[in-house]
Amino acid sequence: MAGFNSVKQMVDAELLDGSYKFSTFRKAPVQVTTQGLWFDMSMSPGNPPPQYYAAAPLVSVQMKYSTDGGLFHGGNVSTAQKILRQLCLTSTSATGLPMHFRLCDYLMYYPFIDEGTTDEQTLTNSVTLPRYTDGKGVQVMAVSVAGRTGGQTFRINYTNSDGVSGRISQTVIQNTATAIGTIVTSATATNGAAGPFIPLQAGDSGVRSIESVTMISGPDVGLFTLVLVKTICNIQLYEQTAPAEKDFFTEAMEMPVIQDDAYLNFICLPNGSLSGVAFNGYLNCVWK
């Protein structure tokens, strides 16, 4: 059990020591999302406020709760270890449901990849990963920050979790969605598309940094941002009348660890437009 040697230690930390943080959130997308295309809810209004990956083009930027916000999970716990005990989600509408949510720790991003050129775009690694520094399990998603015509293909050149540079991702094709926040590689009905993450070179399981991006077909309008994330957990919201609740203590073999200063937010897979639909929920973290 992460951070605890016994059930009693976890119960004592939460009920006797007060070493926990219960916090609520509310996200209310305004974007007209598309069925079957993954969407980055960090760019939606609500609590926490949206963030827009606004920084110098092609230069790496770290993401942290202390600088960027995200879902509140309590302060840094230093030498203790913080775990996610409970997570809950509800919806004000049946629109878009059932829907899969993935809670991620957003680590670093490279803003404003230009879709209007087929020249290799070299990225500047001014900073490194702030958490999960070995890159194990770290994946890359491409988030739309300016609309496109769609259908372009691209690939990335990256350093994998073993520290090997010059690795080349699989070539992926973009969807045609124009909604800001859409993950451009996701399209369940398109040959050559992928899920929320860019498929890596065979044998690789994580990314430490990205060195360049190449648009293979084009030119096109549009911009996207490459975001490095680490999945924390998954949860499924089936219907409006029943909240999705997960107690990792009683329902899972292992409770997810939340690192200090983590920027937490959701990506989701809607079954329709989420414009005007609000999602409420809470998370409860415990540490020792």
State pTM to two decimals: 0.96
pLDDT tier for residue 174 given thresholds of 50, 70 and 90: very high
Amino acid 81: pLDDT: 94
pLDDT tier for residue 216 given thresholds of 50, 70 and 90: very high
User: If you ran DSSP here, which 8-state letter would residue 125 be given?
Assistant: -
pLDDT tier for residue 280 given thresholds of 50, 70 and 90: very high
Of 137 and 191, more confident: 137
Mean pLDDT of 138-163: 95
- With CA atoms as reference, report the closest residue to 99 among 245, 282, 239, 278: 239
Spatial separation of the C-alpha atoms in residues 154 and 193, rounded to whole Å: 11
8 A C-beta contact, residue 274 and residue 240: no
- With CA atoms as reference, report the closest residue to 256 among 136, 65, 103: 103
pLDDT in tens, 89-105: 999 999 999 999 999 99
Mean pLDDT of 47-59: 97
SS3 letters across 172-205: EECCCCCCCCEECCECCCCCCCECCCCCCCCCCC
Q: Which amino acid, residue 191? A: N
71-75, 206-210, 218-222, range with the lowest pLDDT: 218-222
Checking if the pLDDT of 133 tops 90, the result is yes
Amino acid 2: pLDDT: 57
Amino acid 206: pLDDT: 98
> Average pLDDT of the chain?
94
| Helix or strand holding residue 160 (H, E) | strand 153-160
Q: Residue 173: CB partners within 8 Å, gap ≥ 6?
A: 151, 152, 153, 185, 187, 190, 191, 192, 193
Q: Where are the domains of the chain?
A: 34-271
Q: What percent of the chain has pLDDT over 70?
A: 98
Amino acid 16: pLDDT: 87
- With CA atoms as reference, report the closest residue to 258 among 110, 75, 17, 46: 75
Checking if the pLDDT of 23 tops 90, the result is yes
Checking if the pLDDT of 71 tops 70, the result is yes
Amino acid 219: pLDDT: 77
Mean pLDDT of 64-77: 97
Checking if the pLDDT of 185 tops 70, the result is yes
Spatial separation of the C-alpha atoms in residues 166 and 85, rounded to whole Å: 39
How many Cα atoms are found within 13 Å in the side-chain-facing hemisphere of 132?
Answer: 30
pLDDT in tens, 259-269: 999 999 999 99
In this structure, the chain runs to a length of 288
Checking if the pLDDT of 3 tops 80, the result is no
Amino acid 217: pLDDT: 86
Checking if the pLDDT of 249 tops 90, the result is no
Amino acid 26: pLDDT: 98
What single string gives the DSSP state of each residue in 7-25?
HHHHHHHHHTS--EEEEEE
Checking if the pLDDT of 238 tops 80, the result is yes
Q: Residue 11: CB partners within 8 Å, gap ≥ 6?
A: none
Checking if the pLDDT of 8 tops 90, the result is no
